[in-house]
Amino acid sequence: MSELRQDPTTFDWVIISKEKAKQPQEFSRNGKVRPPLPEHDEECPFCPGNEDRTPEAEAVYGNSDSWRMRVVPNKFAALSPDGDTKREEWKTFRKSHGYGRHEVIIETPVHNQCVALMPVEDIENIIMAYRDRYLEMKKDPNIKIIIIFKNHGRASGTSLEHAHAQIVASPIVPPYIRRRFEIATQHFDNTGRCLYCDLLFNEVEEGVRIVRETDYFVALHPFASLYPFETWIMPKMHSSSFGKIVDIEIKGLAVILKEILLKLYRGLEDPDFNMIIHTAPVDDEHKTYYLWHIQIIPRLTLAAGFELGSGIYINSAIPEETAAFMRKISL
Amino acid sequence: MSELRQDPTTFDWVIISKEKAKQPQEFSRNGKVRPPLPEHDEECPFCPGNEDRTPEAEAVYGNSDSWRMRVVPNKFAALSPDGDTKREEWKTFRKSHGYGRHEVIIETPVHNQCVALMPVEDIENIIMAYRDRYLEMKKDPNIKIIIIFKNHGRASGTSLEHAHAQIVASPIVPPYIRRRFEIATQHFDNTGRCLYCDLLFNEVEEGVRIVRETDYFVALHPFASLYPFETWIMPKMHSSSFGKIVDIEIKGLAVILKEILLKLYRGLEDPDFNMIIHTAPVDDEHKTYYLWHIQIIPRLTLAAGFELGSGIYINSAIPEETAAFMRKISL
């Protein structure tokens, strides 16, 4: 019989089919590996030599003739810094200009360099770049939320193989994010504690869903994971905003992020995944009700009509089993 | 420059990239058609002769030796009528047994019969079966919401080609559904009117996103569609619950549903899609604040990290253009 579990941060329910769940190893690509990529691809807009195929760089790390990372506005920007943020409203309709920012962080000059296989120092530099861009985008007083994310592989919704992250700054805090913040605020009002810190403490105490714990971070498969192998990386130092991450945490984050990505790479044979940095709305950064964290969603299954029509996900893996599987993968 | 549009029924925002949007015809499968299916597949658990490969039927339409439709419990039921609905709670964790019901409606005995190509009378019978099962499941006082949906094609999350729908009855109303009902209730408290009827009236008045209007129904591509070619079929007769649909409406629904599915079939070359019947929670059926409706989501694009991490969707099609394209497709 299946089990309904509730995510305390969203109140969403997930169905975990205990007897009929797949074994963790069944989620592996099982040899269906990607075609090998060259180190350099002349057609790739992110490869060195093709700098003119992206909009002008906002930032370049390393030397300009041998860069290590480049930050460029997204050529197909979802939001761009033109027009204003006024709403136009009539009848039941409401719209505004697509004001905002949308940048791409090209994480390496090497076309086939997978982040999971990079040296920790390079991952540290990438996270530094995320923070730099976050702080830069925050300067625009119209910006109310900044979303950093990464798509890896076609099933994650990207067509570009060259390692990159994206950062979108929006003048509108969407209900998806506002709601999480409100639930955490209510928990704080009720208990005087951060909901996410409570969740983290309880997960560490139960232990069975922990993948890795280091001095500064914990990686776990949450009790009410919506997706197989969904992984949260949560900081032990309480902070609402990723923008406030300090250097020593960045070092620690690089280590645990590499471990988690490498365990996925080895354990499931380089699955497609999305990575998202969840952080408080800019105007709420100083509030202690929230905890920034990273969510990694391997794209191993497809949402169907039930998920799209109810918001209840069916997770075909058991978080306790996938976490145990991940713990055992040696690096 | 892109446009941010808000869905008044969820307050969710969508980014519609006006200049860079694709043309409607670019979403066609363009000859990438499915491999042709046989009329009968010995391996298919839904084909006649394989009745023993499904759990015992809850209902059979037609004769038992030459059935027209069969309703069976889902062999891999997400929820099943065992145990109780009590919550178990400790620390930040909450769970309950996966109590509920999960049935499959096998919509035809013919393995390769596509609903879009069925005679209208057959579609009428299918909708009647949906209503029958809805009313049957409602009898269980533990059931609080009933979700009817259909997955067509692999990208929709199904591996079974034989035409079928599913119906899940849950003892828990998830936030996704509760929230929509609350927003509609607030609108009613403010205005004395049904939010969905207002939306429908306004869409008909603007006209540009209407695909088809008949005596009893309107099919449209909503102003703030999250997905390319997302289609809503809304009844003109106000009712919160699909369970209360009357026979004359079923006739009308069969006609417009066939037209919409056939237009998608012809215009986009049989795209994969999900279809969902949105209806009020069982205990709220008598309230007038909501309007049941059908949502069709062709699975033409993939949600990426931005969508999963913000709930803001990027729609790469313009609803006004896709609706005009759909209007022009002759049947």
Is the CB of A159 inside 8 Å of chain B's CB atoms?
no
HEC letters along chain A: CCEEEECCCCCCEEEECCCCCCCHHHHCCCCCCCCCCCCCCCCCCCCCCCHHHCCCCCEEEECCCCEEEEEEECCCCCCECCCCCCEEEECCEEEEECECEEEEEECCCCCCCCHHHCCHHHHHHHHHHHHHHHHHHHCCCCCCEEEEEEEECHHHCCCCCCCEEEEEEECCCCHHHHHHHHHHHHHHHHHCCCHHHHHHHHHHHHCCCEEEECCCEEEECCCCCCCCCCEEEEECCCCCCHHHCCHHHHHHHHHHHHHHHHHHHHHCCCCCEEEEEECCCHHHCCCCCCCCEEEEEECCCCCCHHHHHHCCEEECCCHHHHHHHHHHCCC
CB A162 within 8 A of CB A150: no
pLDDT score of B105: 98
CA atoms of B183 and A90, how far apart (whole Å): 18
Is residue B266's pLDDT more than 70?
Answer: yes
pLDDT score of A65: 76
- Which value does ipTM take for this structure? 0.97
Is residue B4's pLDDT more than 90?
Answer: yes
Is the CB of B175 inside 8 Å of chain A's CB atoms?
yes
DSSP 8-state secondary structure symbol assigned to residue B27: G
In chain A, residues with a C-beta closer than 8 Å to the C-beta of B16 are 98
pTM: 0.98
CB A128 within 8 A of CB A237: no
Please identify which of the residues A102, A111, A162, A164 carries the catalytic annotation.
A164
Choose the closest CB to B297 out of A156, A274, A308: A308
pLDDT score of B207: 98
Is residue B140's pLDDT more than 70?
Answer: yes
pLDDT score of B64: 67
Is the CB of A248 inside 8 Å of chain B's CB atoms?
no
Average pLDDT of chain A is 96
Is the CB of A195 inside 8 Å of chain B's CB atoms?
yes
In chain B, residues with a C-beta closer than 8 Å to the C-beta of A8 are 92-94
Count of domains in chain A? 1
pLDDT score of B152: 97
| pLDDT tens track for A3-49 | 999 999 999 999 998 878 899 999 998 877 788 999 999 999 999 99
Domain region containing B136: 3-328
pLDDT score of A9: 98
Is residue A267's pLDDT more than 70?
Answer: yes
The arithmetic mean of pLDDT across residues A52-76, rounded, is 94
CB B52 within 8 A of CB B58: no
Under the phi-then-psi rule, with left for phi > 0, alpha for psi from -120 to 50, and beta for the rest, what region is A322?
alpha
Is the CB of A142 inside 8 Å of chain B's CB atoms?
no
Among the residue ranges A58-67, B241-250, B256-265, B293-302, the one predicted with the least confidence is A58-67
pLDDT score of B121: 98
pLDDT score of A64: 67
In chain A, residues with a C-beta closer than 8 Å to the C-beta of B80 are 1-2
- Cross-strand pairs, B73: B103
Positions of B annotated as catalytic residues are 164
The arithmetic mean of pLDDT across residues B293-303, rounded, is 97
Which residues fall within 8 angstroms of residue A276, CB to CB, at 6 or more apart? A147, A148, A149, A150, A294, A295, A296, A297, B305, B308, B309
Domain containing residue A166: CATH number:
3.30.428.10
Average pLDDT of chain B is 96
CA atoms of B314 and B61, how far apart (whole Å): 42
How many Cβ atoms are within 10 Å of B179's Cβ, its own excluded? Answer: 18
Half-sphere CA count of A150, side-chain side, radius 13 A: 26
| pLDDT tens track for A125-161 | 999 999 999 999 999 999 999 999 999 999 999 989 9
Sheet holding B313-315, edge to edge: A87-90, A93-97, B3-6, B13-16, B313-315
Choose the closest CB to B168 out of A174, A277, A306: A306
For residue A81, the chain B residue with the least C-alpha distance is B1
For residue A272, the chain B residue with the least C-alpha distance is B304
CA distance A65 to chain B (A): 31
How many Cβ atoms are within 10 Å of A268's Cβ, its own excluded? Answer: 25
Give the number of residues written for chain B.
331
Chain B interface test: which of A1, A3, A4 (most B C-beta within 10 Å):
A4
More confident call, A90 vs A65:
A90
pLDDT score of A1: 84
Choose the closest CB to A91 out of B158, B202, B314: B202
pLDDT score of A19: 75
Is the CB of B241 inside 8 Å of chain A's CB atoms?
no
| pLDDT tens track for A175-209 | 999 999 999 999 999 999 999 999 999 999 999 99
CA atoms of B87 and B94, how far apart (whole Å): 7
- Cross-strand pairs, A44: none
Confidence of residue B65 (pLDDT cuts 50, 70, 90): confident
DSSP 8-state secondary structure symbol assigned to residue B99: B
DSSP 8-state secondary structure symbol assigned to residue B55: P
pLDDT score of A17: 87
